[in-house]
Structure 1
């Protein structure tokens, strides 16, 4: 297995792991499938999670990028678990929806948004403390990427339109952190992800409007 762990390409004076390139490419494929509401997005993403987990523990696996990003690595584990939930949920929706899409995009309710904000605040504080103790590079930024990514993945499983916006906020923090840490393919992919998430949000918003036409009754609107 040594060749798989060590295989790299030399680009602009730096050794870049093929695992990082391939894992990020698979992750992007998962995002494209997710925008199209394809159930396959989840298992494809889980493959990327396994590869990227080994990448972000550079010091542990003695790879060219020897900076350990414990938040980035840890979120791959939670991604895997949340993706299993999303896979199950989207498959159940297909079975019970008699041919309906795996998920119907919608805005989160006020209560759901409050729950997400509280989870984000509590998770950020705990992750910041834990990652700082572990010696993670850039613990505050790494903590936000960790927490925001998990919330965005959960939001995708639930069909919340807001999950795209959370991803944009994650990417905005992730790009400078990954550049400083030397994870150049991942930083580049975060730039691509940011633009892709804006496109995905617009796509899901159009789908939402096509499924539920505008209404004037606030009681009806709150259902979405």
Structure 2
């Protein structure tokens, strides 16, 4: 799975390629609010943990393991986290929710950056820490079907493109460029869905 494979003028590995495909399927299903997205998220996260560890992106590698746990929780939330343990509906963050999210991102960035710089051999501790914290926040918001998860993912994915290009993970850089487009599509789709009353949407 680690053999170098030429693809469209750059190189990748079968492991990265399979992770790429599973990740695209995950986001596509998230946009459609299909709970099976969480299954593909678990599979993609497990494989990408190996890809990132091999590239010394330890924050991202560890994040994938957290994603697996959050995905299990998110799967339950989407199915039973709503009113009367029903299906969870899209909602928006309050002003306090925005502030709490920003503080969580900042705190995560500080803690992860210090840890990565002190205890690993990564050459990008600050960028890795910042994006790892942002990704974790985005995943948590997605798990609770908060519309703003797409805002977080758009920002994070744009920055990830440059990081993965720097790390010569070109297929993954392309994946995250695609994620930017898909996140914008997700924001539009969820915004339209949230504007439709639940009773109308279910009729």
Matched, 1:165 2:151: yes
1:162 and 1:12 map into 2 onto residues whose CA distance is 34
2:70 corresponding residue in structure 1: 82
Structure 2 counterparts to residues 137-148 of structure 1, below 5 A: 137-148=123-134
1:182 corresponding residue in structure 2: 168
Shift of 1:92: 1.3
2:188 and 2:102 map into 1 onto residues whose CA distance is 23
2:9 and 2:191 map into 1 onto residues whose CA distance is 43
1:32 corresponding residue in structure 2: 28
Q: Is the 8 A contact 1:137 1:181 kept in 2?
A: no
Q: Is the 8 A contact 1:172 1:194 kept in 2?
A: yes
**Aligned counterpart in structure 2 of residue 121 of structure 1, from 84, 106, 116:** 106
Q: Is the 8 A contact 2:31 2:185 kept in 1?
A: no
Aligned-CA RMSD value: 1.7
2:57 and 2:137 map into 1 onto residues whose CA distance is 19
- Tell me how many residue pairs correspond in the alignment: 196
1:41 corresponding residue in structure 2: 37
Q: Is the 8 A contact 2:79 2:88 kept in 1?
A: no
Runs of 5+ unmatched residues, structure 2: 199-203
Q: Is the 8 A contact 2:10 2:170 kept in 1?
A: no
Shift of 1:135: 2.2
1:15 and 1:193 map into 2 onto residues whose CA distance is 20
Matched, 1:151 2:137: yes
* TM-score normalised by structure 2 residue count: 0.90
**Which has the higher Rg, Structure 1 or Structure 2?**
1
Runs of 5+ unmatched residues, structure 1: 59-66, 213-224
1:207 and 1:14 map into 2 onto residues whose CA distance is 39
2:178 corresponding residue in structure 1: 192
2:96 corresponding residue in structure 1: 111
* TM-score normalised by structure 1 residue count: 0.82
**Aligned counterpart in structure 2 of residue 69 of structure 1, from 54, 57, 61:** 57
Deviations 1:16-66 (Å, cap 9, x if unpaired)? 1111111121011011111111110111110001111111111xxxxxxxx
2:160 and 2:28 map into 1 onto residues whose CA distance is 20
